[in-house]
Amino acid sequence: MVKNIDEMQQFGKDNMDATMKSFGMFSKSMQAIAAEVADYSKKVFEQSTAATEKLIGAKSLDKAVEVQSDYVKTSYEGFVAEATKLGELYTALAKEAYKPFEGQFGKMASVK
């Protein structure tokens, strides 16, 4: 009986340690994601400002259409690249947050 209580206490401590590690990894990953989103937002703002200036300075309708088309194309490509990057960051977040618990599932079955 005492052995089982000690095992349960150790199991609880191990779970708490794994949870704290997971929260630490989660926090770091969320900071990286927030920094990436902030950088992307800044880049989009700068690109849209530059495109607006070019559009205002266009001397003909053809040039205006060309500027707008280039902006739409680069914006779309940038968005797809950023969405892919964020998807990879979120995948890494899930993997890192799960890592501390990998060994716990085997222990759980042996404690029962």
Which pTM was predicted? 0.72
Question: How many Å is the Cα radius of gyration of the chain?
Answer: 25
The yes-or-no verdict on residue 69 having pLDDT over 80 is: yes
Residue-level pLDDT at 26 = 86
CB 43 within 8 A of CB 78: yes
pLDDT band of 104, cuts 50, 70, 90? low
By residue count, the chain amounts to 112
**Domains held by the chain: number:** 1
Residue-level pLDDT at 68 = 95
Structural domain of residue 42, as residue ranges?
2-111
